[in-house]
């Protein structure tokens, strides 16, 4: 139920890149009604590093992910984002953030291409159909660009979520149960993406899969 680890992985700086991103989580706690989900979670992570949230079902991994992505407000504490040591305002974080999780859905009545156009435009990215087709191809969805998402299987929907999360090449990629609903081939593609992301950007993963845990340099273990 409570925290287990407070740490800092800022000490080793792997990158010489122009833009260095950091996330500072400070004493985060979350309570639903009177039930404490977790408390006193603190960490700092910067570009070129990765972090894994572990814990049994109901331990609050997804809630912690949602707090970090600012989908819900924490009961206590604060999550702050920095670019080159300058704090990014809450309403300016969207172009840098990518999230894939089972609870995030896309617009099923729109085609994959229409979904892409919406997400590219709202993130202030140029609409580049070739880039989109390349991503669809990488995720094994080539040729399905013009199909409405309601015709996709659950595994294909999960793959297309990766396409939408990666179109803007996010500096911070957060994956909640990254390979749920995916077959072996799909999981391999996701592992490649995770490997690429953690090399120069920030990767945060919430999982219990041993294959996925090894992508995190550091771990936060939540207890039930």
List interacting residues with another protein (CB under 8 A).
66, 69-73, 91, 94, 97, 99, 103-110, 114, 118-119, 121-124
Work out how close the CB of 218 gets to another protein at its nearest, in angstroms, rounded to a whole number: 24
Tell me how far, at minimum, the Cβ of 221 lies from another protein, in Å: 25
Closest CA to 141 of 108, 189, 178: 189
Nearer of residues 8 and 92 to another protein, judged by Cβ: 92
- Cα distance between residue 202 and residue 146, in whole Å: 32
d(CA 136, CA 147): 12
Q: Which is nearer to another protein, 66 or 159 (CB)?
A: 66
Q: Measured from the CB of residue 184, what is the shortest distance to another protein in angstroms?
A: 27
Choose between 121 and 214: whose C-beta lies nearer to another protein: 121
Q: Tokens standing for 27?
A: 């004493």
| For another protein, the closer CB: 105 or 154 | 105
- Closer residue to another protein in complex, CB, 36/213: 36
Nearer of residues 148 and 217 to another protein, judged by Cβ = 148
Buried b / exposed e across 148-158, counting CB within 10 Å, b at 16+?
Answer: ebeebeeebbb
CB of 66 to another protein, least distance (A): 8
How is residue 13 written in tokens? 């700086």
CB of 118 to another protein, least distance (A): 5
Which residue bears the tokens 């660009």? Answer: 145
């Amino acid at each position: 139920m409570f925290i287990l680890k407070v740490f800092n992985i800022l000490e080793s700086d792997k990158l010489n890149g122009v833009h260095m991103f950091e996330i500072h989580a400070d004493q985060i706690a979350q309570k639903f009604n009177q039930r404490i989900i977790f408390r006193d979670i603190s960490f700092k992570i910067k570009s070129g590093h990765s972090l894994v949230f572990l814990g049994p079902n109901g331990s609050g991994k997804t809630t912690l992910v949602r707090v970090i992505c600012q989908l819900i407000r924490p009961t206590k504490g604060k999550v702050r984002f920095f670019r080159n040591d300058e704090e990014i305002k809450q309403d300016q974080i969207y172009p840098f953030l990518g999230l894939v999780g089972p609870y995030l859905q896309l617009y099923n009545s729109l085609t994959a291409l229409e979904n892409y156009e919406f997400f590219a435009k709202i993130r202030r990215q140029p609409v580049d159909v070739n880039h989109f087709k390349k991503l669809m191809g990488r995720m094994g969805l080539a040729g399905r660009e013009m199909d409405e998402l309601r015709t996709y299987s659950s595994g294909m929907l999960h793959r297309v979520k990766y396409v939408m999360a990666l179109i803007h090449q996010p500096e911070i990629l957060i994956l909640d149960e990254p390979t749920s609903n995916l077959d072996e081939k799909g999981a391999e593609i996701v592992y490649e993406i995770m490997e690429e992301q953690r090399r120069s950007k920030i990767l945060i993963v919430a999982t219990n899969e041993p294959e996925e845990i090894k992508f995190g340099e550091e771990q936060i273990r939540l207890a039930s």
